[in-house]
Structures are given as structure tokens and as C-alpha cells.
Amino acid sequence: MKKTIVGLLDELKSGATTSEALAKAALESAKANAADNAFVSLDEEGALEAARAIDAKRAAGEKLGALAGIPLAVKDNILAKGLRCTCGSKILGNFVAPYDATATERLRAAGAVIVGKANMDEFAMGSTSETSASGPVTNPEWPELIPGGSSGGSAAAVARGTVPAALGSDTGGSIRQPAACCGVVGFKPSYGRVSRWGLVAYASSLDQIGPMANTVEDAALLYDVVAGHDPHDSTSATRPAPATLPELKNGDPKIRIGVPEECFGEGLDPEMREVLQKALDDLKADGAELVKVSLPSLKHAIASYYIIATAEASANLSRFDGVRYGHRSPEAKDLESLYRKSRSEGFGKEVQRRILLGTFVLSSGYYDAFYVQAQKVRRLIADDFAKAFASCDVVATPVLPGPPLKRGEGLKDPLAMYLTDIFTVSLNLAGLPGISVPVGSCGGSSASLQLVAPAFEETRLLQSAWRLERLRR
């Protein structure tokens, strides 16, 4: 059984191990399993130095943070001062972060030891972790299948056991989907719950940082450390973020679980449906009430998402122009060719495709027909969830419509890749918290159930996820 944060903290407190030993083990695992390609870079010197400092504080009896001595990975679009931040792209291949993201800063303040930056789809644009300039990530559990994306490196590092947990980012499912592909827990908090300061933007109204871990308890612990208002981020929620860990096991077993008819019908793999239904039946046997709900606008979620996300991406990625930082083409002869060549050479095909699509939907004559309509659909999706929550406490859906794609399938057929996000993008559009919890197997790989709660009800969501996990273990 893989190590957990909670278990490792107990070992550290008892003296059974040291922070330095844990950091060394994580670094050795990353290097021994380099074929996974889960990391873009490792920080051997910095990690060992931080670990030794924690050991010294523990030996001196000093007060330590909630993650003191725990080795973690951070997705390569989240800044960590002094480390490269490539976003999986050639255009940022040599960019070194000048400061810590707020999430990274809070990890360090809690005593976490960051061992490296996790690989990802380029600029978080993808669902397979095959578009990185550093090469594709391999699923350590099922190598013939994708590890999911875009936080595939974070998921793979946790699934391999290199680190007990990692940070990812989720724009349309990029935490929950790779977690499902690799058989770990992936938690996307409400929009605004975790600061985006220092997260390289893909789609600013959708992006959210969150934890990936082996257990719901570990995900709650990591979330509690990074959550909370940040004045650096204008989209950061100002309402208090109560600690979820102390209340994790106090949830009401008689919780009402909404089951949307649109999510468990046509288009869902029969074996996946059977496994997920078994998980729901287990919850019912434990006291939960299963309530039929409807999300009629869900069928429009993919179209709405890929219009809004690409539109925001076209604006956000315009800063990578070869002028201020990042890749600059040596072939440029004037300003126009500098822009054109630097961006053509620096961005991969999937990123170029999405920038072009986003520029198109924002262009004169198409803005109202596409972007404005997509925003209206976004509101309808949020309203559907609000109506559903009027009769239930959490909503349950699949994470994936079937087993993970085989390696290379998504690259050959981008539309097939986009459609695997059908059950995850709606949460980002509505700003809701969601969690992916492994509940069985499908097609010889992992199957996960997604639980969704109203905005800022992370405690309720994690309580429900913990109960589900307990029943399925």
C-alpha cells in the first residue's frame, strides 16, 4: 500500500524516519522511474536542504507546520522560485520562476519539501499528457493507457508512490480526469477558493489549483494548507475557508445524493455504469438517499467550454511573443517575423489549434454568435446545478465515459479527446467543487465516481468522498 501524508507524519513524529530520508527516497524514485516522465525537473539540492532544515527544527523541538517534512510535487505551471517553469512548452523552456506562487508559498510555510515540477500537457491544453515539449507522461499503473491530463505528471508521481501527494491545476477536468486514469484521488475546489497568483493562466475564469493524493484525507489536508483568500489574486474568494480535515469523518450518512439521468444513460460505457452504480448502491446501503435530478444543459457543456476556454487562452497566451521572455526565434528579421516565428516555433500543435479557435470566436462578426452564446449556456449549466442542489446535498456523476484512451488515440482524434471531458468541464463552467474517487475497475483499469457540491461547500463534499472511499476500501 502506498504511503500517505498522514502515515508519513506519524513516522516523522515517532522518529521512525526523517525528512531527509523521505526526500532522498522521493528523488531516487523519480530517477529510477524516469521512464514515467512524470517530472520536467527535480530540485535535488533544494529539496535535501529544506528537508535537513525541517529535521533540525524537529530535533530542537520547534513548532512545525502541517506538512513538515513531506515530499510533494508541483505541476509545472505553478511557480516555484528558482525552479524552471516550462508549462510543458518549448516557448518557456528556460524560464526560471522569480517568485513562488501563493499555493507554493503556503506549502513551503507548512514545511512541505518540493522535490520537483511535474510534467503536463503543454499550457494545460490536453487530456492525455502527451503534448508536453518534454515528452509524454506514462501511466505507471497501466502503461498502454494515457495517464490523463493535463496534470498527468502529478497523477503519475502519486500513483507511482514517488510522492504521497501533488498539486495540479484544473481548467476543465485536469485534476479529476488524470486522477481517475491513474487510480488516485483528485480534488478541484470551488473557483476562487485557492489563489491563482503564480499559476500560469490558461483560461482565467476556469482555472483552479487543487490536490491529488492517495486518500481523501490527504487531499483534505493539502487543501486546508493552500486554501484561503489571497489579496494578490483579484478572483480569490473573500469568504472564510474553514478547515475541512477536523470535520472529515463527521458527515451525515443520510446525505441526499443527486443522480443526473443525463450522466448515466446513453454514451456511458456499460461496464463503467455497472461499477459506478455499485458504488452508489453501497452509499445507499450506508444510509444515503439517492435522488433523481436533471442537468438538461449538460449536452452543451463541451461546446461552451471549448469556446470560452480557447477565447481566454488566445488572450492569455498573447504575452508569449518572443519580446520579453521565453523563446525568441533566431530567424526573426523584423517585429512581425519575431512574433510569427517565435510563436510558431515555441507553441505545439494543440496550443496553436486552441489559440486559433479562440481568436476566431472572439473576432468581429463571430463574437455574438459564439462567445456570447457560450456564456449564456454557461449560466444555464450553473442554473441546472442550482436546481439539482435544491433537492440533494451532492451530485454524483462519472468522471470518464469509459476506460482511459489508449496512448496516441487522442492525438490522432482530438475530438475524441475533447469528449472524454464531458462530465468534468461543467463544474469549471459553474465554479463548483468536485472530487474524483476510485471505486473499482473498468476495462482492466481504474473507474472513479465524481462527487459535486454547491460552491464553497468543500467540507460537505470531502465528507461525502471520505464516506465513499471508506465503503469501497
- The active-site residue out of 19, 127, 132, 150 is 150
Residues 6+ away with beta carbon under 8 Å from 212: 151, 154, 155, 158, 165, 166, 167, 168, 175, 178, 179, 184, 185, 186, 187, 219
Strands 185-188, 208-213: pairing is antiparallel
Rounded distance between C-alpha atoms, residue 152 and residue 158, angstroms:
10
Q: Per the residue annotation, which of 3, 75, 117, 341 is the catalytic one?
A: 75
- Ramachandran bin of 184, using left for φ above 0, alpha for ψ from -120 to 50, beta for the remaining angles: beta
How far is residue 209 CA from its own chain's centroid?
6
> How far is C-alpha 116 from the chain's CA centre?
16
Q: What is the DSSP letter of 368?
A: I
129 is catalytic: no
The secondary structure of residue 19, as a DSSP letter, is: H
Q: Which amino acid is at 213?
A: A
Q: Which residue has the cell 472524454?
A: 420
As given in the structure block, the three cell numbers for residue 10 are 506519524
| Of the candidates 312, 453, 467, 464, the residue with the CA atom closest to the CA atom of residue 395 | 453
Q: Are 210 and 155 in contact (CB under 8 A)?
A: no
Nearest to 210 by CA among 244, 239, 234, 238: 244
Task: Look up 174 and say whether it is catalytic.
Answer: yes
How far, in Å, CA of 146 to CA of 300, rounded?
Answer: 26
Task: Return the biggest CA–CA distance within the chain.
Answer: 70
Residues 6+ apart with CB under 8 A from 252: 463
Euclidean distance between CA atoms 348 and 350, whole angstroms = 6
Indicate which residue of 174, 195, 297, 426 is catalytic.
Answer: 174
| Residue 75 annotated in active site | yes
**How far apart (Å, rounded) are the C-alpha atoms in residues 448 and 400?**
8
Contact 364/431 with Cβ under 8 angstroms?
A: no
How far is the C-alpha of 114 from the C-alpha of 107, rounded, in Å? 8
**CA–CA separation, 22 and 12 (whole Å):** 9
Supply 453's cell numbers: 457540491
Left (φ > 0), alpha (ψ -120 to 50) or beta: where does 82 sit?
Answer: left
- Whose CA is closest to 112, among 26, 194, 31? 26
Catalytically active residues, by annotation: 75, 150, 174
